Amino acid sequence: MSRRARMRMDADALRHNVEVARRHAGARGVFVAVKADGYGHGMERVAQVLAPLVDGLFVATVGEGQRLRKSGVTKRIMVLQGVVSQSEARLCARMFLEPVFHHQSQIAAVGHHGFGLPLTAWVKLDTGMHRAGFNPEEFEAAYRRLAGLKGLRGRPGVLTHFARADEPGRLETAAQIDCFRTTIEPIRIDAGEEIETSLCNSAALLAFPDAGGSMVRPGIMIYGGNPFVAGTAADYDLRPVMTLTSRLIAIRTVPKGGAVGYGGRFVAPEAMPVGVVSIGYGDGYPRHAPDGTPVVVNGQRTQLIGRVSMDLITVDLRDVQATVGDLVELWGAQQPIDAVAAAAETIGYELMCQVSGRVTVDEAEH
């Protein structure tokens, strides 16, 4: 086996985490986020495991939706950023992709001529995040305009997204839930039938059980990441899905006062063994990781020392039993990704998404 970076996706952990989400969702449907290449795990690989277990998947772009359909996914697929033209809308209709309309320009662009096949559409309401979505004052008119277009399948669904659900107990989230309910009330009454609604990302699904909606949209929790600013994923019975490993390609003795790596960031306080590991920012390991970032070498906890370079990192082997060729876990089953993310002042989401194409993927066990 090569001594290079490898990524493994634990399909059982993925299934387990979906079960956790289902438990919290209750009667609501579960759509799982597989955007950004399935949070870096490989979109098709993730979809193949998840599709049988969920009500739908969602992605950011039409291109991602197309990729999913081409890989054989037959479940519902929501496209968060929606479409920018009639031809994209027709493509969505043909591929049974469900675009979200979040801006007036999209409704104008698709026109009044139908889509070839019926199109299932969603409208995004901005309840306070002030990123994408119609604001409450313009929502009703936009909704009616979209719903009035020729060629829609049923009434459009409505979704919103929370800005601070990862900080449990925030009044802002309660206010967003409130805003959602009041704003959609007129069109709900008008529709005469139940329209589909969706509010919750992972954090809201776990922390705001009364947020409501007919379906939830978890992402990070499905991949075993902690959706919250505090605590750990294990607190919610979530299991890590991604394990990123590499191997020791050398063990050196650095003399006392020897500076390790670019910029000489780490200076050996004593003569000490230093392990050289074949992974770097070219593989997606965060370049900003400081000395002390946790690493597991041959099952033993130790730390990164010295600056991360493109292809290599260096680790502290004092008090570690190790030989060249030994396995190093950067994050995964033994080393929670969130602790690495915290050390590198980022979030698990970003670390997952950044794993690069150079990393060999060990195929999922089903």
Task: Kindly indicate which of the ranges 213-221, 277-285, 301-309, 314-322 contains the residues binding ligand PLP, using the contact rule CB under 6 A.
Answer: 213-221
Q: Rounded CA gap, 273 and 290, in Å? A: 19
Counting contacts by CB under 6 A, is residue 202 touching ligand PLP? yes
The CA distance from 272 to 256, in Å, is 7
Does 272 bind ligand PLP (CB under 6 A)? Our answer is: no
- Beta partners for 361? 7
36 or 295, CB closer to ligand PLP?
A: 36
Residue 262 is a catalytic residue: yes
Instruction: Decide: 5 and 244 in contact? Cβ < 8 Å.
Output: yes
Choosing from 256, 262, 285, 349, the catalytic residue is 262
Query: What single letter denotes the amino acid at residue 165?
Result: A
Choices 7-15, 112-120, 187-195, 197-205 (CB under 6 A): range interacting with ligand PLP: 197-205
Beta-strand pair 242-254/272-277:
antiparallel
Total residues interacting with ligand PLP, rule: CB under 6 A: 11
**Distance in Å, CB of 294 to ligand PLP, minimum:** 23
DSSP 91-117: HHHHHTEEEEE-SHHHHHHH-SS--SS
Say which of 35, 223, 236, 281 is annotated catalytic.
35
CA distances from 304 to 72, 242, 246, 271 (A): 42, 20, 14, 17
User: If binding is defined by CB under 6 A, does position 227 make contact with ligand PLP?
Assistant: yes
The residues in 16-55 that bind ligand PLP, with binding defined as CB under 6 A, are: 33
90 lies in the binding site for ligand PLP (CB under 6 A): no
The yes-or-no answer on residue 281 being catalytic is: no
Those residues whose C-beta lies under 8 Å from the C-beta of residue 220, and which sit 6 or more positions away, are 33, 39, 201, 202, 226, 227, 348, 349
According to CB under 6 A, which residues from 152 to 171 bind ligand PLP? 161
Residues with Cβ within 8 Å of residue 98, at least 6 apart in sequence: 76, 77, 78, 79, 92, 119, 120, 121, 122, 157
In whole angstroms, the minimum distance from the beta carbon of 132 to ligand PLP comes to 8
Exactly one of 217, 254, 336, 352 binds ligand PLP (CB under 6 A); that residue is 217
Q: How far is it, in rounded angstroms, from Cα 224 to Cα 17?
A: 7
Binding mask 53-82 for ligand PLP (x = CB under 6 A): ---------------------------x--
Tell me if 218 contacts ligand PLP by CB under 6 A. Answer: yes
Site for ligand PLP, rule CB under 6 A: 33, 80, 161, 201-203, 217-220, 227
The set of catalytic residues is 35, 262
